[in-house]
């Protein structure tokens, strides 16, 4: 479980590491979406924050470090989803779906997917 929150910027770094690791800071900086406009120093700062939060680890590789996630992406998503659902909807899924449905935020395909999921859960 992720004890501390991960910022949006830190999440961008985590996404890179979840897709491929271990990586050096330079390799992470090369793979972060270019529209972020981050320097290598910015990426190094974010990596240091993630190490301090114990979300990633680093191992020495000569004069550089290689970084790898300590938290699986699925575990992070599960924890953050639960936090978000608890905070906004009192931990209940039904009000979330009702909220989306009332605002026409669900497509016909999404409604069909939800119906199929519910059928599978009931079986």
Q: Could you give the CA distance from residue 47 to residue 2 in angstroms, rounded to a whole number? A: 16
Residue 97 sits in which domain range? 73-122
> Are both 63 and 93 inside the same structural domain?
no
Token pair for 65: 């470090």
Q: Could you give the CA distance from residue 23 to residue 17 in angstroms, rounded to a whole number? A: 7
pLDDT in 10s for each residue of the chain, 123 residues: 566 789 999 999 999 999 999 999 999 999 999 999 999 999 999 999 999 999 999 999 999 999 999 999 999 999 999 999 999 999 998 998 888 888 888 889 998 998 999 999 998
Q: Could you give the CA distance from residue 66 to residue 24 in angstroms, rounded to a whole number? A: 4
Number of domains the chain contains: 2
> pTM of the predicted model, to two decimals?
0.81
> Are both 83 and 65 inside the same structural domain?
no
> Are both 60 and 104 inside the same structural domain?
no
Q: Is residue 22 part of a domain?
A: yes
């Amino acid at each position: 479980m992720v004890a501390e929150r991960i910022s949006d910027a830190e999440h961008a770094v985590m996404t890179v590491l979840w897709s491929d690791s271990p990586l050096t800071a330079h390799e992470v900086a090369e793979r972060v979406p270019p529209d972020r406009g981050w320097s290598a120093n910015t990426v190094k700062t974010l990596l240091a924050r993630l190490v301090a939060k114990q979300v990633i680890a680093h191992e020495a590789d000569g004069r550089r470090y290689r970084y790898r996630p300590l938290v699986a992406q699925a575990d992070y998503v599960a924890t953050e989803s639960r936090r978000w659902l608890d905070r906004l909807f009192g931990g209940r899924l039904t009000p979330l779906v009702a909220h989306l449905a009332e605002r026409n935020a669900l497509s016909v395909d999404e409604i069909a997917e939800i119906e199929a999921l519910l059928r599978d859960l009931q079986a």
